Amino acid sequence: MDNSILGKFQYVDDLLAAAETCKQSGYAISIISPVPLVHEIEHTFGEGKNPIKYFTGVGAVTGLLFGILFTIITSLLYVLPRAGRPIIAIPPTLLISYETTILFGVLFTLLGFIVLALVPYFKESEYDVEIAIDAFGLRVHGVGEDKFSDIEKVMRENGSSDVKRIEKK
């Protein structure tokens, strides 16, 4: 059962102050905003982890190996002997390997983005029209029954206009 609290804020500074307090208390938080707040959030909490680079690296290595194996196997299956030149030539192998490295790196990056962005997202989430239009939201996850009042107090002290409990069963 995931109990959480959703607080509405009118100003970004109030939101970030409450979020920092809740984060320091050890709670998982989500910030909901009608406008991008990337710089403000990074300034307050530091830069977040970005695992997409691992998808890109795996894709690039896979593409490199695929390109090398593809050209070697193709040149061995369809032998075209030409005046003493080697059957497995290095320049075409490098060229195809370079292209497949980039292709697979891009495709794996796109796949990683789709997977990590949770597209499509099947879980129901709490939606508030005011937060989507002209307010900022702070959702604190995993709040125990005994801590609801403490988190609500922190949000109210930092300028929350409305605080509501969200209980998932």
Q: Which of 7-11, 74-78, 132-136, 153-157 reaches the highest mean pLDDT?
A: 74-78
Which residues are within 8 A (CB) of 151 and not within 5 positions of it... i.e. 6 or more apart? 5, 22, 27, 140, 143
Which residues are bridge partners to 30 per DSSP? 139
Distances in Å between the alpha carbon of 152 and those of 19, 83, 120, 147, 155? 12, 82, 32, 9, 5
- Which domains occur in the chain, in start order? 3-34+134-167 (3.30.70.120), 52-116 (no CATH)
For residue 64, which of 112, 108, 111, 103 has the smallest C-alpha distance? 103
Reduced to 3 DSSP states, what percent helix, strand and coil does the chain have, rounded to the nearest 5? 55, 15, 30
Kindly report, residue by residue over 108-128, the tens digit of the pLDDT.
999 999 999 887 777 666 667
Is the predicted pLDDT of residue 65 greater than 60, yes or no?
yes
Kindly report, residue by residue over 16-39, the tens digit of the pLDDT.
999 888 888 888 888 888 888 888
Q: Of the given ranges (62-66, 71-75, 100-104, 136-140), which has the lowest mean pLDDT?
A: 136-140
Amino acid 125: pLDDT: 67
Q: What is the pTM of this model?
A: 0.70
